[in-house]
Amino acid sequence: MRGLIDRKGEQIGYFVGDKLYTMDGEYTGRLEGEYIVNLAGERVWRVVGQGVYSLDQSETIGYISGAPLEHDD
């Protein structure tokens, strides 16, 4: 599983392909290039390598762990 881990080490979401889900299974956004965007397509966080940061990179959100999963669509 490819997870979204916060800076305290707790898993807060997971990816199926490029789609991001909460731990409750709600589709909440997607990985689009170097950004995680919400359902409206607005950039929420920036991805640099495996790190996830605020858009201006002044705050660390966490990181993406695990191997990528195949797209399901």
72 within a domain of the structure (yes/no): no
End-to-end, the C-alpha distance of the chain in Å comes to 17
Q: How many domains does the chain have?
A: 1
CA 36 to chain centre: 6
Q: How are beta strands 2-6 and 11-16 bridged, if at all?
A: antiparallel
At CA 45, angle to CA 33 and CA 36, rounded to 5? 40
Count Cα atoms within 13 angstroms, Cβ side, for 31. Answer: 24
**pLDDT band at 68, cuts 50/70/90?**
low
Does the pLDDT value for residue 73 go beyond 70?
no
Count Cα atoms within 13 angstroms, Cβ side, for 63. Answer: 9
What is the extent of the structural domain holding 48?
2-65
73 within a domain of the structure (yes/no): no
Does the pLDDT value for residue 53 go beyond 90?
yes
CA 16 to chain centre: 10
Does the pLDDT value for residue 1 go beyond 90?
no
pTM: 0.86
28 within a domain of the structure (yes/no): yes
